[in-house]
């Protein structure tokens, strides 16, 4: 299992939870995690596929081919706005 942290409006897409526990197979990559998320949470999965949500692994932007292990810190980050 891996923990996926959700921020901002993404929590509303998964019934208000800010942490999801997802199964993780050996050799899994970010794209595999996205597939699992889309199967359970279609709206969230669609945002990930459209690249409207950023996947962070160990506080760095991840790519679809980024390898995952259970000890990784995974976060889903919605678009940010603001600044001057």
Q: What is the CATH number of the domain that holds 69?
A: 3.10.20.30
Classify residue 61: in a domain, yes or no. Answer: yes
20 pLDDT tier (thresholds 50, 70, 90): very high
Classify residue 37: in a domain, yes or no. Answer: yes
In terms of residue numbers, what domain contains 64? Answer: 2-77
pLDDT digits (tens, 9 = 90+) for 54-77: 999 999 999 999 999 999 999 999
Domain total in the chain: 1
pLDDT of amino acid 79? 77
Residues 6+ apart with CB under 8 A from 20: 3, 4, 6, 14, 37
Residue 13 CA, distance from chain mean position: 12
- 3 state SS of 75: strand
At residue 50, does pLDDT exceed 70?
Answer: yes
């Amino acid at each position: 299992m891996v923990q996926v942290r959700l921020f901002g409006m993404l929590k509303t897409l998964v019934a208000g939870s800010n942490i999801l526990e997802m199964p993780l197979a050996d050799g899994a990559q970010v794209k595999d995690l996205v597939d699992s998320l889309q199967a359970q949470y279609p709206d969230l999965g669609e945002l990930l596929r459209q690249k409207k949500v950023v996947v962070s692994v160990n506080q760095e932007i991840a790519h679809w081919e980024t390898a995952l292990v259970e000890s990784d810190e995974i976060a889903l980050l919605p678009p940010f706005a603001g600044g001057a």
